[in-house]
Structure 1
């Protein structure tokens, strides 16, 4: 679905990346000569007043850089800006009171279906502003996973326009779910606007002179002196990461990172009245007659033989909204609207990848790809440090028959799984270390889940730096294939991933940053996972196979 305004309906781009081994630097901030990178003065805080000796405060929600890509959230400023408390429940959006209207009930094949949402509060009054997060799909009758995702345009006045392509003959059933009212989204934004996660501590065990000490780590410590921290930021581009100096007052390169849950139980879902399942959170709009009839006689859909092969596309042009349909879920498969794709075939894929090196970097969902390919190709695999029970361990695999090398690297900080920081390289550094003229490399990356609860400007800085490294790599090796894998929709809620709205927000930023990036293919998976009603943030085998089938379609002829 779409939550972008009418003014922002432009095509976008998606991508996927793989990584190589690299390093993590640790330098204590000197008392006298501090570099600009170590002062945490990247674009993130360029408009924030602060002294050189103290970490500056983060910009507020409506002063942040990420907000420019979300006009519907900007429009909420007059209603929520400066508020310390949220409106009472009777004034927030109610799924049970909200009205869906379908002006036209009969269409031709390949027409664009249109409907409208009129948001109402719990008192039955029309909402005067937008920002609600809806998920909408059009499905075949009695087939909960055969259908298309629908885009939703926020008109900023409490109404929303639904649209989606009609690609089958017969009946279409419209399904609308209110994931979060705008008031709940504001609570989620407040709970993800810092350098430290609310309710979670990332701590490093450091060894100094044979003694172990525990210390807190984060993207910064606003209001605290910079002399009291160890700087583990990326010296090349300023990607920030800091740990408080331990009692020994010394910094160490030997860091074992781990996650600790704090005692604050309210952080998981913000203000609890706004996150009650079936009332104000993930509520299906149960309205009768939400159907449409699709007749033959129109032009045929172009998602079949008329489309170019995915491997022939030099660039994938996408809408800025991840919910706009990029394909049809049908019979446990996926038919792309972008290009002619084909199902995953391990033998054909392995033959296509002969003498290639596949580098995947990201979190545990990317390691799922690595493990799936290792199994599908019958490859040998072994670790490069740590234990295989944790995703935060580098792995390398090899299939002898076709001489295929597969590598997995966990991304740099933050990470919620225990492990040594030195085996978690920054994605940008990994790209920088790829030598020239390595045209046999396929590089795929994904990043986001472990940054859900931090200020989005930090994520925006991270992916902008990744794009800069991608551009540098293509100047050295213009034929390397680079992919950005989009984050997927899910309904699982944990302390670390309270809502997939965080992933949606990051997908919007990914599409913006990698728009028109030469030599990069963006793999759109949000609408695929939404239509298939994916629940876990670690997708099951069926969805993994569909995702890898789309990757194979872009890689192989």
Structure 2
């Protein structure tokens, strides 16, 4: 790749060598009387030194060239791109806290592939992405399920427990993992979630879990309310179950498949129809099993470059594809896999002491930071008290029906994503009496949906993101890629764009999801360049899924990629991960009305900052 860097003497090297040789040959000791008698000896000495310098120069230059030629590009999202002791293995997506570096260097100066370089992603930024999704693995072969982490034997203690605390202090909890033989684990990789709560006051706050990579974990809690509290820790997946999830994502990405419905004219004025299996075109991770060669119809989007592929119908042409739907699930789990996955989302035993928290005169939870794009999401991002969420990100408000209407007045609001974002659309239609939903005669589950308020000049849109999408039978022409939708919007001070991405991508390779996200990032950057006063808000992933097709561990990794991609773009990131993980309601990918109302309050605080 760099032949001119490994030859003994190159065109660029010759002037340097010639200049060095001239210096050596023209050193004249006669100009220095004190050295005149040693002229011959010095000339030999300097000649030897010059030759030595030239030889060292050639060796170093050749070595550098060979190293650049030999160094392969890093494997995508390597789980071990750094030493294990550098891993944070945090249970929070907010563990991503470094900016995305943008570069315009040529591909020859970057070890990452051309796709990322063309989108302005530097090698350093790419490495931070790898670090963000790195996860510790068992340091030995797991030959028996009894070697995995046991929720019954794993325990937690409160470190240095005091009789009382003051609001604003921190509480440290230590988790000690053991296997089913009651033996202490010596490696990390378990996926825990923790919260501090008090049921009587409907109070709760998310705790950040840190993997110490030796079978122990620390949990840090901020004490945000006056009153009482207890600690709860759950084992979402053992480290061994996480490896099951990872292996099936890497080898069986086709375990969720879709149907493509072909329709067209037949003989004697009849209608023909055929249903074929479809999926993402991705020639690895198991997706290549869809077929090769002339097996399939391919539908490449001209703007994103993404290709959707369906098995070729027998009687109809590829152009006859009309509808799309969820197809089904393929369960590739072995018996051992199934046993490991049964120990999922289990509470662990530990210190049930009641934490007493008192007021501190000099401490307050009031947040004075105004809401603005680009703010970092801390852990915790806020807390519940009496079912009301107080944000630690910025100063948010709680909205009534009247103030909600006032906030949305003269706004064009475009929502793009999945059904968890559709819940926000449904909230507004129900909350604002003058906002009326139109009947567009489409499949409701995938949209597009539209509601208008003529009196207050509000139009509210929601549509599902493009394929892959697990949904009921819907017209495939209505499924648009988010990046294309954003490219088609003019933007401006009255435009609000809200999108999310995650649950429908849990079975796919991280690289596929990353490329989708970066295309959206490119579209958002272009939008903010032509209309910088456009409001762009990203809703993060909910917790809720716990199985092989949609685990929270999958969602956590996707959420980290999403945050990584948009940290430097100037958008609002609305963290719902912590809000859904720590609430007392049973976890559901579609959270209940209390959580949705609190999410909407933050959303409106982003839209209406004054």
TM-score of Structure 1 vs Structure 2, range by shorter chain = 0.7 to 0.9
Question: What is the aligned-residue RMSD (CA, Å)?
Answer: 3.0
Aligned counterpart, 2:149:
93
* Structure 1 contact 110–298 (Cα < 8 Å) conserved: no
CA distance in 1, matches of 2:547, 2:339: 17
Measure how far apart 1:216 and its partner are: 1.5
Q: Distance in 2 between matches of 1:164 and 1:473?
A: 39
Q: Deviations over 1:174-204 (max 9, x none)?
A: 1111111011111122222357441x32010
Question: Unpaired segments of 5 or more residues in structure 2?
Answer: 1-87, 101-112, 119-126, 266-270, 282-286
Alignment of 1:309 onto 2:370: yes
Structure 1 residues 249 and 66: CA distance shift in structure 2, 3 A: farther
CA contact (8 A) 2:229 2:355 kept: yes
Residue of structure 2 equivalent to 1:274: 340
**What's 1:222 paired with?**
288
Q: What is the total number of aligned residue pairs between the two structures?
A: 485
Q: Is the 8 A contact 2:91 2:208 kept in 1?
A: no
Q: Normalising by structure 2, what TM-score?
A: 0.73
**Once the two structures are superposed, what CA deviation does each residue of 1:248-267 show, in whole Å capped at 9, x if it has no partner?**
473116421122225x5565
Counterpart for residue 89 of structure 2: 3
Cα distance, 1:296 vs structure 2: 3.7
Partner residue in 2 for 1:103: 159
Distance 1:216 1:332, change over 3 A: same
**Structure 1 position 353, deviation (Å):** 1.9
Q: 2:300 is matched with which residue?
A: 233
Contact 2:494–2:534 under 8 Å retained in 1? yes
* CA deviation after TM superposition for structure 1 residue 397, in Å: 1.0
Asked whether the equivalents of residues 94 and 120 of structure 1 are also in contact (C-alpha less than 8 Å), the reply is yes
What's 2:82 paired with?
none
Q: TM-score, normalised by structure 1?
A: 0.80
Q: 1:434 aligns with which of 458, 472, 489?
A: 489
Q: Secondary structure at the match of 1:171?
A: strand
Aligned partner (choices 146, 149, 161) of residue 203 of structure 2: 146
Whole-Å separation in 1 of the counterparts to 2:442 and 2:360? 60
Native 8 Å contact 1:396 1:405 kept in 2: yes
Whether 1:382 and 2:438 are equivalent positions in the alignment is yes
Contact 2:237/2:345 (CA < 8 Å) preserved in 1?
Answer: yes
1:24-82 Cα distance to aligned partner (Å, 9 max, x none): xxxxxxxxxxxxxxxxx9859x9xxxxxxxxxxxxxxxxx99754233x2x317546xx
Shift of 1:165: 1.0
Tell me which moved more, 392-401 or 532-541. 532-541
> Within the alignment, does 1:176 sit opposite 2:233 as a pair?
yes
Counting only pairs closer than 5 Å after superposition, residues 18-417 of structure 1 correspond to structure 2 as: 43=115, 68-71=131-134, 73=135, 75-76=136-137, 78-79=139-140, 86-106=142-162, 107-140=165-198, 142-143=199-200, 145-193=202-250, 196-198=253-255, 200-209=256-265, 210-220=271-281, 221-222=287-288, 224-248=291-315, 250-252=317-319, 254-262=321-329, 264-265=330-331, 271-276=337-342, 280-297=343-360, 299-301=362-364, 303-304=365-366, 306-310=367-371, 313-319=372-378, 324-378=379-433, 379-388=435-444, 391-417=445-471
Quick check: which has more Rg, 1 or 2? 2
Specify whether residues 77 and 494 from structure 1 end up closer, same or farther in structure 2 by C-alpha distance, changes over 3 A only: closer
**1:326 to 1:382, Cα distance in 2 relative to 1, 3 A:** same
Note the C-alpha offset of 1:172.
2.5
Unaligned runs of 5+ in 1: 15-40, 47-63, 81-85
Alpha carbons of structure 1 residues 89 and 268: separation in structure 2 relative to 1, 3 Å:
closer
Q: Distance in 1 between matches of 2:353 and 2:307?
A: 49
In structure 1, distance between residues paired with 2:214 and 2:362: 35
Q: How far is the alpha carbon of 1:226 from its aligned partner? A: 4.4
Q: Check conservation: 1:428, 1:469, Cα contact below 8 A.
A: yes
Secondary structure of the corresponding residue to residue 317 of structure 1: coil
Deviations 1:354-376 (A, max 9, x none): 21101111111221211211121
